Amino acid sequence: MRMRAVSTMGFESLMLRATLQAADRTRQRFAEVRSKSVGLVDNLSDGDSTAQSMPDASPAKWHLAHTTWFFESFVLSEFAPHYRPFNARFPMLFNSYYEGKGARIARGARGSITRPSLQEILEYRRYVDAAVSRALDSAQPSVRELVELGCHHEEQHQELLLTDVLHLFSQNPLEPTFRAATGRATDVAPMPMRWVEGVHGAVQIGHDECGFSFDCERPRHTAWLAPHALADRLVTNAEWLEFMEEDGYRRPELWLSDGWAWVRDHAIHAPLYWRLRDSFEWQQFGLDGLRPLEMGAPVCHVSYYEADAFARWVGARLPTEAEWERAADEADSTEGAVFDATRAMRPRPAKGRERIRQLYGDAWQWTGSAFLPYPGFRVAPGAVGEYNGKFMSSQFVLKGSSCVTPAGHARASYRNFFYPHQRWQFTGIRLAKDL
């Protein structure tokens, strides 16, 4: 009996140690993510972080506060019994779309929140950070999983913050630079595009349950692929110029009906952030300011409508989500220009002669697949179930990652999604064709 008691006590000690180690890992991950977000606004003024350039974009300080509200609302308010909110009126300001979490201001009105100041929001973050760190000491696995979800959610907002600042700065005639480029880019002529035959027949797609995934990536299931091929690289700026020179934006036969209406209604004639200087030189505005258009770099900031029209123009199509994912299953998710604060945050030309390139990094790639639930998809209970499921309508899937995507979000099963007219994100094109 005594030996059994000792054994039981030893087991409990091991379990406690394992719990504390898991809490420490989660705490470290949480601290790193939260620190990186604050680092993104180091060079922003309170005015920079308050302005909202369009309804699709949000102010930088709103991103900082909303991600903090997420931890406060889903972790602290639910699982920290003695937690006192930093400000009881903040939830209405910083709830995004969670109906289960109460009232909120309209998305297009976020730029009207001149108070609290950026400094007060940073204080809000420090207050919540300390409370989450304390809560992790006694947290159960389900709570650590929520903190992990919150970290991935915040990384998504880090990317959104950068794309939203880019759109904001692009409206300013002074053409401000968010972060100066290090070194000088050397433009290279794009290599001829090659076609790589894809696997066909029954394939498995969706997350394999190894590591973190969002609910929309699950469950893993069987898809059927017809014979097809994918382009070995992304479409370049030089190739897009050819499309423009052949009146691609003025030929209705290339466009979906909604796309053609969008082109006419908004006078679309080039990718977003392209600017024609002195009637002959195209330049592109980016997070590192205005620079000459890099011909060998992937075309970026194009809508689904534009991507589809270009594919028709060259006699190809956009890949399906399953075709792209199967091609990326064995690719290195660290290749390409993914987010790195020490490098220029813009797409780069394809390098090397691998079988298929630029699957990750540089630019998100439009697919021809609608963002819909996978067979067997189940919405999580409670307000957290509103994360992805309720957006599975009228949007298209993008795959890969971009030059401002945190590295942990580059995986084959990741499902980004946007409406077909949206293009302020780093969105590009990979072609596909039937065989």
Task: Say yes or no to pLDDT of 12 above 60.
Answer: no
Q: Residue 296: name the closest of 238, 372, 351, 220 by CA.
A: 238
Q: Is 195 left (phi over 0), alpha (psi -120 to 50) or beta?
A: beta
Instruction: Report the predicted TM-score, pTM, of the whole model to 2 decimal places.
Output: 0.93
Cis peptide preceding 219, ω within 30 of 0: yes
SS3 label, residue 203: strand
- Cβ count within 10 A of residue 343: 16
Overall average pLDDT of the 40-56 stretch: 96
- Name the residue ranges covered by the structural domains of the chain: 2-170, 195-434
DSSP-H helix ranges across 225-369:
237-245, 257-266, 304-313, 321-328
Split at pLDDT 50, 70, 90, the class of 59 is very high
- CATH number for the region 2-170 comes to 1.20.120
Q: How far is CA 44 from CA 89, 167, 176, 183, 324, in A?
A: 25, 14, 11, 23, 37
Task: Say yes or no to pLDDT of 343 above 90.
Answer: no
| Burial (0-12, 13-18, 19+ Cβ within 10 Å), 22 | middle
Task: Say yes or no to pLDDT of 171 above 60.
Answer: yes
pLDDT at 280: 80
Report the distance separating Cα 320 and Cα 298, nearest Å.
20
- pLDDT digit string (tens) for 191-201? 889 999 999 99
pLDDT at 381: 79
Share of the chain above pLDDT 90, in %: 74
Backbone phi and psi for residue 215, each to the nearest 5 degrees, phi listed first: -60, -35
Q: How far is CA 342 from CA 39, 176, 310, 378, 406, in A?
A: 12, 19, 33, 40, 13
What's the order of all strands across the beta sheet hosting 195-197? 195-197, 228-231, 432-434
Report the distance separating Cα 197 and Cα 28, nearest Å.
43
Indicate the range of 246-255, 329-338, 347-356 predicted with least confidence.
329-338
Overall average pLDDT of the 374-388 stretch: 83
pLDDT at 6: 47
Split at pLDDT 50, 70, 90, the class of 384 is confident
pLDDT at 18: 59
- pLDDT digit string (tens) for 203-224? 999 999 888 999 999 999 999 9
CATH number 3.90.1580.10 given to 195-434: yes
User: Is residue 359 a contact partner of residue 400, using CB atoms and an 8 Å limit?
Assistant: yes
Split at pLDDT 50, 70, 90, the class of 17 is low
Mean pLDDT of the chain: 90
User: Is residue 104 a contact partner of residue 73, using CB atoms and an 8 Å limit?
Assistant: no
